Amino acid sequence: MTTLVSWNVNGIRAIGRNGFLDWLEREKPDVLCVQETKANTGDVPTEIRLPKGYGSVWQQAKKKGYSGVATYFRSKLEPISVQTMGIPEFDDEGRVQLVEYKDYTLINAYYPNSQAERARIEYKLRFCRAMLTLCQNLRKAGKNVIVCGDYNIAHKDIDLARPKDNRDSPGFYPEECASMDDFVGAGYVDAFRHFTPDPGHYTWWSYRTRAREKNIGWRIDYHCVNAEFVPRLKKAAIHADVLGSDHCPVSVAVK
């Protein structure tokens, strides 16, 4: 069994000062994908960049202190290769890593925030379309696909505590939900929902108004897999008790 964890850490250096290494040592995921690292690799302390027992690969944004993703892996799971999307407008923001293994390609993705008043909605939708094309091309080449990360989309009403109040909010715009519909409709399965159909499960809470304490949250962090890979999924979980970021880790176990 292989455990794959995804976590938007909202600043790798900040979370490094808030128990990240203790959590990693305790949980020992086989592969950990983190998003929103907000750091150039050279600015990350060695103990965070290369924790005991792990290697790591980093994709940073051109803009210092912005966006960025990284993937940690135990020595037994060193990737065959690691690539970016190959699309400059997304790669320049450090949004994606394609981490290739024998049985699947793990995509570590930090989807754009569409922002208030739809300021970046077109950029977000281009990213979503590009991601779908990327996944479909991998499938056509005979690859299984696991897309993990912060999608910045609450797909359905069940995926946020107050859907009626947020229909015109970034992350729940109808266009974004429709893009997720397109993704699922093309043959991809939301791993958490495959196992857990009930409401009340969230992965992000605003720092304002004690939202996490009240569990007034959004589920915007996912693992999605191509339908053919679903029999390999053994469980999926949200680790809402893990603090240190405004997001919590999410995980899947695959065989």
pLDDT exceeds cutoff 90 at 75? no
pLDDT band at 209 (very low <50, low <70, confident <90, very high): confident
pLDDT exceeds cutoff 90 at 48? yes
Q: What is the pLDDT of residue 216?
A: 97
Q: Domain 2-254, what architecture?
A: 4-Layer Sandwich (3.60)
The 3-state secondary structure of 79-125 reads CCEEECCCCHHHHCCCCEEEEECCCCEEEEEECCCCCHHHCCHHHHH
pLDDT band at 253 (very low <50, low <70, confident <90, very high): very high
Average pLDDT, the chain: 97
Q: What is the pLDDT of residue 189?
A: 98
Q: What is the pLDDT of residue 77?
A: 92
pTM confidence score: 0.97
Q: What is the pLDDT of residue 208?
A: 85
Segment 142-156, tens digit of pLDDT:
999 999 999 999 999
Q: What is the pLDDT of residue 24?
A: 97
157 assigned to active site:
no
**% pLDDT > 70, the chain:** 100
Residue among 22, 43, 150, 168 flagged as catalytic: 150
